[in-house]
């Protein structure tokens, strides 16, 4: 289905671009108006840097407190199952406690932030540009993906606080998955349902809503059509991710 983008008015074409601080505030206060000027200015780097720094600092702080205990529990389970020897666990703990592995972990977190943002931008460009037939080049889709991602700044502190209090990253869920019974190890269906519920949690829905507003504003496509397409793609990705994760996970 092809859609003709709405022709921008002369006033909109000449409207001043928002400052970085103004756009940052608009993403939370008035997201429908947060996209002015992005057609002419590249500002994707600002939200990407903020989210990367925030995520890396969170990992640095939780590395000893939450990540290592999760790994230690996994190794203990493997020792009990006969898959590892106690001396192997000692070597693994010594290696993971070194600064080299900590640095590699931080680099991996930063790289994953960039990779996932690129992926989201591709999905948006495909959905609006190919499925709807609107005009949303990848550069503008990347702007939407990075700026929409700022809503995660609300989720990350909550995630951090729960992981710190529980001394674990594994059991933190900010969705209906938190109501599921605890299973260790979980059955495949339990893993699938947990991953799916996390993927359609409130903060991810918030991200999609802001992305819909951005894609509609920058492409001219009707919001309802953009919402159906991006919402459908997000739901499909959640289902696929849940199925793959459950299939690859060991069964109880």
What does 168-184 look like in DSSP terms, one character per residue?
-STT--SSGGGGSPP-S
Summarised one tens digit per residue, pLDDT across range 228-247 is: 999 999 999 999 999 999 89
Q: Is residue 145 in some structural domain? A: yes
Q: Is residue 8 in some structural domain? A: no
Quick one: which of 153, 150, 118, 152 has its CA closest to 214?
150
In degrees, rounded to 5, the angle at the alpha carbon of residue 24 between the alpha carbons of residues 157 and 117 is: 70
**At CB < 8 A and 24+ separation, what contacts does 237-240 make?**
237/123, 237/199, 238/195, 238/196, 238/199, 238/200, 239/196
Q: Is residue 236 in some structural domain? A: yes
Residue 12 scores a pLDDT above 70:
no
Tokens representing 221 are 């496509």
Three-class SS of residue 201? coil
Q: What is the pLDDT of residue 251?
A: 61
Residue 89 scores a pLDDT above 80:
yes
- Total domains in the chain come to 1
Model confidence at 76, pLDDT cuts 50, 70, 90, reads confident
Residue 112 scores a pLDDT above 80:
yes
Q: Is residue 7 in some structural domain? A: no
Q: Which domain holds residue 156?
A: 18-248
Q: Is residue 11 in some structural domain? A: no
Q: Please compute the mean of the pLDDT values over residues 136-165 and round it to a whole number.
A: 96
Model confidence at 154, pLDDT cuts 50, 70, 90, reads very high
Residue 11 scores a pLDDT above 70:
no
Summarised one tens digit per residue, pLDDT across range 19-28 is: 999 999 999 9
User: Which residues have C-beta within 8 Å of that of residue 235, sequence separation ≥ 6?
Assistant: 200
Q: What is the pLDDT of residue 166?
A: 93
Q: How far apart are CA 141 and CA 214, in angstroms?
A: 9
Q: Is residue 10 in some structural domain? A: no
Tokens representing 110 are 């930063």
Residue with tokens 């594994």: 170
Rg of the Cα atoms in the chain: 21
Contact criterion met (CB below 8 Å) for 147 and 47: yes
Q: What is the pLDDT of residue 249?
A: 80
Q: Is residue 125 in some structural domain? A: yes
């Amino acid at each position: 289905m092809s859609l003709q983008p709405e022709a921008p008015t002369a006033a909109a074409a000449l409207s001043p671009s928002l400052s970085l601080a103004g756009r940052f505030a608009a993403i939370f206060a008035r997201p429908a108006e947060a996209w002015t000027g992005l057609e002419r200015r590249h500002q994707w780097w600002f939200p990407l840097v903020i989210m990367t720094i925030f995520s890396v600092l969170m990992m640095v702080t939780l590395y000893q407190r939450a990540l290592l205990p999760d790994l230690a529990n996994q190794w203990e389970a493997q020792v009990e199952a006969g898959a590892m020897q106690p001396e192997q666990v000692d070597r693994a703990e010594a290696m993971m406690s070194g600064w080299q592995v900590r640095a590699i972990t931080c680099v991996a977190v930063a790289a994953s932030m960039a990779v996932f943002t690129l992926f989201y931008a591709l999905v948006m460009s495909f959905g609006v540009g190919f499925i709807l037939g609107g005009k949303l080049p990848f550069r503008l889709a990347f702007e939407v993906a990075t700026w929409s991602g700022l809503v995660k700044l609300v989720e990350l502190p909550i995630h951090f606080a729960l992981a710190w209090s529980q001394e674990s990253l594994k059991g933190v869920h900010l969705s209906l998955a938190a109501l599921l019974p605890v299973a260790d190890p979980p059955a495949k269906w339990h893993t699938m349902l947990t991953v799916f519920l996390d993927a359609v949690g409130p903060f991810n829905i918030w991200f999609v809503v802001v992305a819909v507003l951005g894609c509609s504003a920058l492409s001219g496509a009707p919001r309802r059509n953009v919402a159906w397409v991006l919402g459908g793609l997000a739901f499909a990705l959640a289902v696929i991710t849940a199925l793959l994760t459950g299939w690859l996970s060991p069964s109880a």
